[in-house]
A and B are shown apart, each in its own frame.
Chain A
């Protein structure tokens, strides 16, 4: 499991773990999508604390979650961002779209 979700009352927390590259992104997106569809969250916090590597595939994962939450009228937050992943996300300007904690 690359994504572990916890939460109730449409407040979801998803811990992403491992390497978020093209090889891993499809599985992560799939697992995240299923959790979002099941919980229909009004708030989703993506916890990247267990991410050991992230490239631009991670940008696509976060932007997709951002769009899904937008459709649901919810809010996306990203927290516990490791330094390497943060540099990638900032280089792409994701921090201007999604709130980082």
Chain B
């Protein structure tokens, strides 16, 4: 794979107040691509889903660490890797099914569906007892007349 043009990373605790922090951080990093408002919103929405999964599912009974790595590639692709060291997912294919959730009544089971429909690529790697890594990729359109 080609080397990233730019890279940043943050680590935060799995507290729900950090959902907004993670969204804003990703949006801020993505701003250098000169994305449209729609593109920024898609990125924020997908990040929100990935980070919420860590908070709700990875650490159900405790507070743990979540890392988010942001990388920018030369073809205007943004890659966001959200990683936790929590309980992991036994059956990733099942977890990705629409409406499937192990959460309470405040969860819709649509998190992965939203990530998939808003991103160009969603990869999930998980090992029970070890944690989960979700990789989101989104190519941002090059705007005519946009400076770099």
Q: Report which of A19, A21, A23, A84 forms a contact with B41, defined as CB distance below 8 A.
A: A84
Contact status B108-A87, CB under 8 Å? no
Contact of A26 with B by CB under 8 A: yes
Residues of A within 8 A of B106 (CB): 22, 25-26, 29, 57, 60-61
Q: Is the CB of B113 within 8 A of A91?
A: yes
Asked if B132 is at the interface of the complex by the 8 Å CB criterion, the answer is no
Q: What residues of chain B lie closer than 8 Å to A61, measured between beta carbons? A: 106
A: interface residue count bin: 20 to 34
A94 to B38 alpha-carbon distance, docked (Å) = 20
Contact A91 B108 (CB under 8 A): no
* Count of chain A to chain B residue pairs whose CB atoms are closer than 8 Å in the complex: 75
Q: Verify A88–B19 contact, CB threshold 8 A.
A: no
Binary contact readout B20-49 vs A (1 if CB under 8 angstroms, 0 otherwise): 100100000000000000100110110011
**Contacts known (A87-B41, A91-B113); A55 close to B48, Cβ less than 8 A:** yes
Q: CB within 8 A of A21: which of B42, B52, B110?
A: B52
The distance in angstroms between the C-alpha atoms of A43 and B111, with both chains bound, is: 29
Contact A21 B19 (CB under 8 A): yes
Are A56 and B20 in touch, CB under 8 angstroms? no
Q: How far is the CA of A30 from the CA of B66 in the complex (A)?
A: 28
Task: Report the separation of the CA atoms of residues A55 and B109 in the bound assembly, to the nearest whole angstrom.
Answer: 12
In the assembled complex, the CB of A95 is this many whole angstroms from the nearest CB of chain B, namely: 13
Shortest C-beta distance, B114 to chain A (Å), equals: 5
* Residues of chain B having any CB pair with chain A under 8 Å: 16-17, 19-20, 23, 38, 41-42, 44-45, 48-49, 52, 55-56, 98, 105-108, 110-111, 113-114, 117-118
Binding site for B on A (CB under 8 A): 19, 21-23, 25-26, 29, 53, 55-57, 59-61, 63-64, 83-84, 87-88, 91-92
Top 9 A-B pairs ranked by shortest CB distance? A23-B16, A59-B108, A60-B108, A55-B48, A84-B41, A56-B110, A22-B52, A91-B117, A92-B110
Interchain residue pairs with CB less than 8 A apart (19) = A19-B20, A21-B23, A21-B48, A23-B16, A23-B20, A25-B106, A55-B48, A56-B110, A56-B111, A56-B113, A57-B52, A57-B107, A59-B108, A60-B108, A63-B108, A83-B38, A83-B41, A87-B45, A91-B118
